[in-house]
């Protein structure tokens, strides 16, 4: 594909910015949580209406899968935007602040929807020369609700053959994620693991309650729980390879009711992060071993529950390099960064990347006159995303699809 097409894409994205800003602000005012985002879905359907796409409304979630079929035969490429917001108040003071109590688009998913809807417009306008198809995935429930997994289970990837019966399998999948950790329009990614797995840990230590003045007649679960917390940190630093790291954070420890009662139980809750499935399972085993060992040393019993969250998000090496390379043409080489290491946050786009080679790329949204080190981060009640970044985002989404399809055999 000659590069002038990319220049045109950026120009056209500029023209689409006012519409993208309108849509983004509308979503920002009326954010929705979880796997059912009906208002957001309606706005998405409205914005795609005139584009003549094959739209599938999912039923287990409010997900929307929209298929654009080009005039020329070829495979299918998937582009993802997530649609949900977070359960938190907004304190940005913006005039388009959330009108919904305790709900805020603090992770920029409103910008993702607006950018992907814009990209759909850019790509639909190129239908006559498009080689293959583009599947637009609008997915709710990214913030811990496994929305992508639900959409996969509902057959997202089972795209039909072309009208003449030629198969058109999905050969690539791409997602952008807005971040305040980079300046407006900067694209950052890396080949290999880009985001961590995230599992929830709940440990319950059960001893024997009694009078706080006579601990020897009880089995006090509190010091045992404290010992487990310390031992978990030793396990992580001593038994896990620093170059294939893990984070185990105990974020809550709860026990007891008053000063003169030894309680029967103590609870420890936290999160487990890893950037390889190997380390992830090694840490799970280590936590069980350590908790059981410490508890049994003190004649207490323990239960360890690990709720599996999102797997590690692993970018394909070729797909990530392809995205970064394209970004050099779209935003300029000085605005592209190859991340030295993964980010310990998690993403359910990981489920898509387990099935289709592809990549997730970050798109910076902190204005250039602000310091990214001190800017309110994603998930902050004060986070601010510069809407100008959506120009690069729309051009990137569309460019990744076009170039992917043009370089397929
Ligand atoms: Zn988030
Ligand atoms: Zn997010």
Which position has the token pair 């639909």? 124
The DSSP code for 207 is -
Closest ligand, as measured to the CA of 178:
2
CA of 144 to the centre of ligand 1 (A): 9
- Report the C-alpha gap between 248 and 276 in whole angstroms: 14
- pLDDT of 276-331, one tens digit each? 999 999 999 999 999 999 999 999 999 999 999 999 999 999 999 999 999 999 99
Q: Are residues 71 and 54 in the same domain?
A: yes
Q: Are residues 374 and 354 in the same domain?
A: yes
Mean pLDDT across the chain, nearest whole number? Answer: 97
Retrieve residue 111's tokens: 């910008």
> What is the SS3 assignment for 313?
strand
CA of 207 to the centre of ligand 1 (A): 38
How confident is the model at residue 408, as a pLDDT? 84
- Crossing angle of helices 389-406/109-124, nearest 10°? 50
**Does 387 qualify as catalytic in the annotation?**
yes
- With contact defined as beta carbons under 8 Å apart, do 27 and 110 qualify? yes
- HSE-CB for 325 with a 13 A CA cutoff: 10
The residue among 307, 330, 349 that closes a domain is 307
Q: Are residues 201 and 190 in the same domain?
A: no
CA of 183 to the centre of ligand 1 (A): 18
Q: Are residues 350 and 217 in the same domain?
A: no
- With contact defined as beta carbons under 8 Å apart, do 246 and 273 qualify? yes
Retrieve residue 82's tokens: 């997530």
- Report the C-alpha gap between 396 and 329 in whole angstroms: 10
Retrieve residue 233's tokens: 């940190």
| Cα radius of gyration rounded to whole Å, the chain | 24
CA of 157 to the centre of ligand 1 (A): 24
- pLDDT of 157-207, one tens digit each? 999 999 999 999 999 999 999 999 999 999 999 999 999 999 999 999 999
State which residues form the domain around 331. Answer: 4-195+313-406
CA of 122 to the centre of ligand 2 (A): 24
Closest ligand, as measured to the CA of 80:
2
Closest among 288, 265, 266 to 199, alpha carbons compared: 288
Q: Looking at the 3D structure of the chain, how many domains does it have?
A: 2
Closest among 123, 234, 249, 151 to 196, alpha carbons compared: 249
**Does 347 qualify as catalytic in the annotation?**
no
Q: Are residues 275 and 154 in the same domain?
A: no
Q: Are residues 262 and 321 in the same domain?
A: no
How many residues would you count in the chain?
A: 409
Residues β-bridged to residue 305 = 202
Closest ligand, as measured to the CA of 175:
2
Active-site entry in 142, 174, 310, 351: 310
Q: Are residues 52 and 179 in the same domain?
A: yes
* Alpha-carbon distance values, 287 to 220, 296, 307 (Å): 21, 14, 13
Instruction: Please give the full DSSP string across 7-20, using - where no structure is assigned.
Output: HHHHHHHHHHHHHH
How confident is the model at residue 4, as a pLDDT? 57
> What is the SS3 assignment for 101?
coil
Q: Are residues 345 and 268 in the same domain?
A: no
- pLDDT of 157-167, one tens digit each? 999 999 999 99
- Crossing angle of helices 389-406/317-330, nearest 10°? 130
């Amino acid at each position: 594909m000659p590069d002038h097409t990319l220049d045109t894409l950026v120009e056209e994205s500029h023209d689409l910015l006012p519409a993208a800003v309108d849509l983004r602000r509308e979503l920002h005012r009326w954010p929705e949580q979880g796997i059912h985002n009906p208002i957001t879905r309606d706005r998405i359907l409205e914005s795609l209406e005139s584009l003549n796409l094959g739209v599938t409304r999912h039923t287990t979630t409010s997900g929307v899968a929209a298929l654009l079929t080009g005039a020329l035969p070829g495979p299918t490429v998937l582009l993802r935007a997530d649609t949900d917001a977070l359960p938190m108040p907004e304190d940005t003071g913006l005039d388009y602040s959330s009108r919904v109590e305790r709900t805020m688009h603090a992770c920029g998913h409103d910008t993702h929807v607006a950018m992907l809807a814009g990209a759909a417009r850019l790509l639909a306008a190129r239908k006559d020369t498009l080689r293959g198809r583009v599947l637009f995935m609008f997915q709710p429930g990214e913030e811990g609700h496994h929305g992508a997994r639900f959409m996969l289970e509902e057959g997202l990837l089972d795209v039909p053959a072309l009208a003449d019966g030629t198969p058109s399998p999905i050969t690539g999948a791409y997602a952008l994620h807005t971040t305040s950790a980079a300046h407006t329009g900067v694209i950052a990614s890396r080949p290999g693991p880009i985001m961590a797995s995230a599992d929830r840990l709940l440990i319950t230590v059960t001893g024997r309650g009694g009078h706080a003045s006579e601990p020897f007649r009880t089995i006090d679960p509190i010091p045992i729980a404290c010992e487990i917390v310390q031992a978990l940190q030793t396990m992580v630093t001593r038994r896990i390879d620093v170059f294939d790291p893990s984070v185990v954070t105990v974020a809550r420890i709860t026990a007891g009711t008053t000063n003169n009662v030894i309680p029967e139980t103590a609870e420890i809750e936290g999160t487990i992060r890893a950037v390889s499935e190997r380390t992830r399972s090694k840490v799970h085993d280590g936590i069980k071993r350590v908790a059981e060992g410490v508890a049994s040393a003190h004649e207490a019993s323990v239960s360890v529950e690990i709720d599996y969250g999102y797997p590690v998000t692993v970018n394909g090496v070729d797909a990530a390099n392809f995205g970064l390379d394209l970004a050099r043409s779209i935003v300029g080489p000085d605005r592209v960064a190859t991340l030295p290491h993964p980010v310990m946050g998690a993403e359910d786009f990981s489920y898509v990347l387990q099935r289709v080679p592809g990549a997730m790329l970050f798109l910076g949204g902190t204005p250039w006159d602000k310091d990214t080190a001190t800017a309110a981060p994603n998930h902050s009640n004060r986070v601010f995303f510069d809407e100008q970044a959506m120009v690069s985002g729309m051009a990137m989404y569309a460019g990744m699809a076009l170039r992917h399809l043009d370089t397929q055999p």
